[in-house]
């Protein structure tokens, strides 16, 4: 059995939890031990990356921001004519069944995946996928490792950019993440944890796996949103800033402003908000990217998660 290795640290590293060795995985309505959970080699997701996914978190038996995740999933699937084969209530039922089979209620991360299903021949045309969608749900006990907060993330600006929406719109949370994977490889080869990606005009956009924010003179800045994943956490942070009188701007900015930020952080469902300690070897601020605005946003977000999963 392939076990997760404790010594491989990434920006999505969770504390070791031996219970994850025996989790049950949902495959098209059937629960299987992780060693036996399989999809066909003809599956559209395996063959072409033709599928959509959501990463979600379970607290107190409730999925945080379930409606926001379902909006993104159903919108993405509609946009590529992928019929999920069930409504939101059906998806929730599948999630509930998987959580129950694993006895999971809290500090759980889930990857919900839907593909165009099994093909009759190994070629691209969507009409070769004839047996309906494939749905897989992987849930793991998951608490981000504390070193992510303590040490912060090191970013390297990478040559791989976020493209224009008429190539592959970054708003598709598609199985095919090759653009992001290439960026991540480039960052790793530059000795960093994650890649900072620019947009086609050279403005700072996002990272390969998370959304990116800076803080300058008390103001929170993030990209316009035109070329990045429409992250659920990103939107919650923007909304929280607006509701709590923290100035926030979705705007173009360059590396010049990012290097000289007072604070910087990443957002994503896995790690909520994670400080960025340095970018291309330049230290951010005086406390590993952290500062009073980051701390306040982190607290506000934690309270929002708690309130919405009560």
Binding site for ligand PLP (CB under 6 A): 55, 173, 180, 206, 209-211, 229, 231-234, 267-269
If the CB atoms of residues 30 and 303 are measured against ligand PLP, the closer one turns out to be 303
158 touches 205 (CB < 8 A): no
Q: Residue 200 CB, nearest distance to ligand PLP (Å)? A: 16
If the CB atoms of residues 233 and 274 are measured against ligand PLP, the closer one turns out to be 233
If the CB atoms of residues 180 and 198 are measured against ligand PLP, the closer one turns out to be 180
Return the closest-CA partner of residue 269 out of 74, 53, 101, 49: 53
If the CB atoms of residues 115 and 267 are measured against ligand PLP, the closer one turns out to be 267
Residue 22, φ and ψ in degrees, nearest 5 = -125, 30
Sheet (strand 30-33) strand order: 30-33, 24-27, 134-141, 108-115, 51-59, 62-63
309: Cβ contacts below 8 Å, ≥ 6 apart: 58, 59, 60, 61, 62, 63, 64
Q: Residue 65 CB, nearest distance to ligand PLP (Å)? A: 8
Q: Residue 295 CB, nearest distance to ligand PLP (Å)? A: 19
Q: Residue 73 CB, nearest distance to ligand PLP (Å)? A: 11
How far apart CA 46 and CA 231 sit, in angstroms, is 24
If the CB atoms of residues 57 and 141 are measured against ligand PLP, the closer one turns out to be 57
Q: Residue 226 CB, nearest distance to ligand PLP (Å)? A: 14
């Amino acid at each position: 059995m392939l076990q997760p290795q404790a010594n491989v640290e990434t920006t999505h590293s969770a504390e070791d939890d031996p219970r994850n060795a025996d989790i049950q995985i949902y495959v098209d309505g059937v629960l299987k031990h992780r060693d036996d959970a399989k999809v066909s080699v003809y599956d559209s997701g395996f063959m072409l990356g033709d599928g959509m996914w959501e990463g979600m978190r379970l607290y107190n038996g409730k999925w945080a921001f379930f409606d926001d995740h379902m909006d993104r999933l159903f919108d993405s699937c509609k946009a590529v004519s992928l019929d999920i084969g069930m409504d939101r209530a059906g998806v929730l039922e599948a999630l509930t069944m998987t959580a129950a089979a694993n006895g999971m209620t809290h500090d759980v991360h889930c990857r919900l995946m839907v593909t165009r299903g099994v093909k009759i021949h190994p070629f691209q045309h969507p009409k070769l996928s004839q047996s309906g969608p494939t749905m897989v749900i992987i849930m793991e006990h998951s608490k981000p490792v504390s070193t992510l907060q303590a040490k912060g993330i090191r970013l390297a600006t990478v040559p791989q950019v976020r493209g224009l929406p008429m190539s592959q719109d970054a708003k598709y949370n598609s199985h095919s993440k090759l653009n992001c994977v290439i960026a991540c490889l480039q960052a790793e080869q530059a000795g960093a944890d994650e890649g900072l990606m620019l947009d086609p005009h050279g403005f700072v956009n996002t990272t390969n796996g998370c959304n990116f924010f800076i803080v300058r003179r008390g103001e929170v800045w993030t990209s316009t949103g035109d070329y990045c994943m429409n992250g659920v956490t990103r939107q919650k942070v923007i909304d929280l800033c607006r509701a709590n009188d923290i100035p926030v701007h979705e705007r173009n900015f360059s590396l010049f402003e990012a290097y000289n930020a007072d604070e910087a952080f990443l957002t994503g469902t896995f790690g909520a908000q994670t400080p960025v300690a340095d970018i291309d070897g330049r230290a951010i601020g005086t406390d590993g990217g952290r500062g009073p605005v980051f701390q306040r946003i982190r607290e506000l977000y934690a309270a929002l998660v708690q309130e919405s999963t009560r």
